[in-house]
A and B are shown apart, each in its own frame.
Chain A
Amino acid sequence: MYPRHVRMITAAVALILTVAACGQSPSPSPSRMLTVGLGFIPSVQFAPFYLADRAGYYHDAGLDVTFQNRIDPDLVTLVGQGGIDVGLADGTSVIPAVSQGIPIRYLATVYATYPSIVFAKASSGIEDAPDLAGRKLGIPGRFGSSWIMLQALLRSADLTATDLQIVEYPDFGQGAAVAQGAVDAATGFANNEPVQLQLSGEEVNILRVDDVIALPGPGLIAGTSTIGSKPDAIGAFVVQTLRAMREIAADPDKGLDAAIAAVPELGQDRATQRAILLATIEMWQSDLTRARGLGAIDRDGWTESIAFLTELELVAKPVTVDDLVDPRFIPVD
């Protein structure tokens, strides 16, 4: 009896080990591990990343992806240093960063429409840039993408910041200030403050910079050393993220569910999050992406933006589009 028991136990242990070994997927090699930096606050705007992660697109492509939430300047610097492999960062940050010697490249466009806008209640009568003259405008500060956008917008109307009464809201309270009538208009993001104002029943006017200049919006960036050392992983990440964007554009609820699964707090107000996601999806698209697919990079827009940022004295040393973008990973439709 005893030997038979030993044989049975040995067989059972062997079976368990075999099943366990079959169930385990091989650990990704370091070259397939990616740390991805998103914006400071987890948000439904990052739905493509959450979907690709939750639905296993990254995993199936052999990637082991970890997310981190960082503010834009930290993200750009960390990506340049190699502390973070891939980031979602503003194109208008990439230009001054590369001109300062930070070795990063913009790999694919996520926001084909520039998300930073000026918004006002329709009742304010502000419909276009010239209407801002003499009005009270709320901004978070005189720096960053919203300040660049505002200067482009004002310049199109032959105005400068001194022609307006600017009120700073460093705590990003300018949206509430518009709602309460403390200011006539404010800078914000097309998929945030105006959406919330509209949901409260207010008619909102939005002034977009895209008609004036095609500033590059947030997109995927990576450090040149990371691109060199992990080209396959970076390529797979870009492809799978764009795949998730396409699927969410076709079925927004798929993205919303993934975002709520990743950040359960978002589920407390599904209607608002859905509205924000719909506004976000709209900004992933432009005439260029409709012709060439999501992720496409507008080289003419980048050239124009380099010249504009140089005028604003934000470019330390001359840069060309080829110094800034690396579109090799974008799948050709």
Chain B
Amino acid sequence: MSIRNALPVGLAFVAFVGAWKLVTIVSGFPPFILPPPEAVAVRFVEAWADGVMTPHAAATLREVVAGFAVGAGLAVAVGYLLARSRLAERVLSPYLVAAQATPILALAPLIALWFPEGLTGKIVICALIVFFPVAVATMVGIRSVDTGLLELGRSLRATPRQIFVTLEIPAALPSILGGMRVGVTLAVVGAIVAEWAGAERGLGWLVILARGSLFDTPLMFATLVTIALLGVALYVLVVLVERRLVGAR
């Protein structure tokens, strides 16, 4: 990023921190209700330096990556099926929409009970929340492939596999990756909700611990900052992959 591009980003950050500081001064809230940015910054550095944050961030990252991989992988396959089979769309769509409309906060405790051990329950919760946007983006992307190109491919006796690999996927990729941009940030939300439903490690669990047992509000905010940074980093990663595969949009 050039200095010219970085400047507005830096200024926006300074403005955000300034506004936060102003609110703490004007509102008169004590630090245990709304800590000032400098207190959160100090706690953020402390928590990373003394090793409090690292295992929790690593645990959440594992859940996000695994949940996103499973959810997005399944979503691409189902999205393709929905795009190419009207019957599949008619049969599956109501269930997909219903699953999306059901609050993950209500489902998470049940899933945590069905899969009480290890990562499985958390991956399922992440995958569920990632699935819908990626599946819909895939369906839309595949359906938007130029029918003239498909007919040309068939007239040149291209196999279905060749059409899929050389025509459909490249043409649908911008849409699929757009869905993944949304999906990866939702995967972070899914991991946090999954940890609230039962965990012994993770950033979501650290938020509960900081708020409910330690009464350490700066640590809670530092954890929220870490969660936000994790979401931003993963989003940027998907954007970089997108630029590499389909160029800047």
Interface set of A (CB-CB < 8 Å, partner B): 72-73, 76-77, 80-81, 93, 96-97, 99-102, 141-144, 147-148, 167-171, 173, 314, 316
Chain B, interface residues (CB within 8 Å), range: 20 to 34
Interface set of B (CB-CB < 8 Å, partner A): 29-33, 109, 112-113, 116, 196-200, 205, 208-209, 211-217
Residues of B within 8 A of A102 (CB): 32, 215
Residues of A within 8 A of B213 (CB): 93, 96, 143-144, 147-148, 314
CA A30 – CA B109 in complex, angstroms?
44
Residues of B within 8 A of A171 (CB): 109
Residues of B within 8 A of A141 (CB): 198, 208
CA A101 – CA B218 in complex, angstroms?
12
CA A99 – CA B215 in complex, angstroms?
9
Are A143 and B215 closer than 8 Å at their CB atoms?
no
Residues of A within 8 A of B30 (CB): 80-81
Q: B243 to nearest A CB, angstroms? A: 40
Of the candidates B33, B208, B216, which one forms a contact with A143 in the assembled complex, judged by CB atoms under 8 Å apart?
Answer: B208
Residues of A within 8 A of B205 (CB): 142
Are B212 and A72 closer than 8 Å at their CB atoms?
yes
Residues of A within 8 A of B199 (CB): 142, 168
8 contacting pairs across A/B (C-beta < 8 A): A73-B211, A80-B30, A81-B32, A93-B213, A100-B32, A144-B213, A147-B213, A169-B113
Residues of A within 8 A of B217 (CB): 77, 100
Residues of B within 8 A of A148 (CB): 213
CA A169 – CA B209 in complex, angstroms?
16
Are A76 and B109 closer than 8 Å at their CB atoms?
no
Are B216 and A100 closer than 8 Å at their CB atoms?
yes
Are B215 and A97 closer than 8 Å at their CB atoms?
yes
A80-B30, A80-B32, A81-B30 given; A316·B216 CB < 8 A = yes
Are A143 and B112 closer than 8 Å at their CB atoms?
no
- Cβ-closest 4 pairs across A and B: A168-B198, A97-B215, A143-B213, A100-B215
Q: Which residue of B lies closest to A171 (CB)?
A: B109
**Given A97-B215, A101-B31, A141-B198: 11 more A-B contacts, CB < 8 Å:** A72-B212, A73-B212, A81-B29, A81-B32, A96-B214, A99-B215, A148-B213, A169-B113, A170-B112, A170-B198, A173-B113
Residues of B within 8 A of A77 (CB): 32-33, 215, 217
CA A93 – CA B209 in complex, angstroms?
12
Residues of B within 8 A of A142 (CB): 199-200, 205, 209
Are B109 and A143 closer than 8 Å at their CB atoms?
no
Q: A185 to nearest B CB, angstroms? A: 16
Q: A111 to nearest B CB, angstroms? A: 19
Are A168 and B112 closer than 8 Å at their CB atoms?
yes
CA A182 – CA B113 in complex, angstroms?
11
CA A81 – CA B200 in complex, angstroms?
30
Q: A104 to nearest B CB, angstroms? A: 10
Q: Which residue of B lies closest to A101 (CB)?
A: B32
Q: B27 to nearest A CB, angstroms? A: 11
Residues of B within 8 A of A72 (CB): 212
Residues of A within 8 A of B29 (CB): 81
Q: Which residue of A lies closest to B116 (CB)?
A: A167
Q: B38 to nearest A CB, angstroms? A: 16
CA A143 – CA B214 in complex, angstroms?
9
Q: A207 to nearest B CB, angstroms? A: 21
Residues of B within 8 A of A173 (CB): 113
A102-B215, A142-B200 given; A170·B31 CB < 8 A = no
Q: Which residue of B lies closest to A172 (CB)?
A: B109
CA A141 – CA B214 in complex, angstroms?
14
Residues of B within 8 A of A314 (CB): 213-214
Residues of B within 8 A of A97 (CB): 215
Q: A278 to nearest B CB, angstroms? A: 30
Residues of A within 8 A of B198 (CB): 141, 168-170
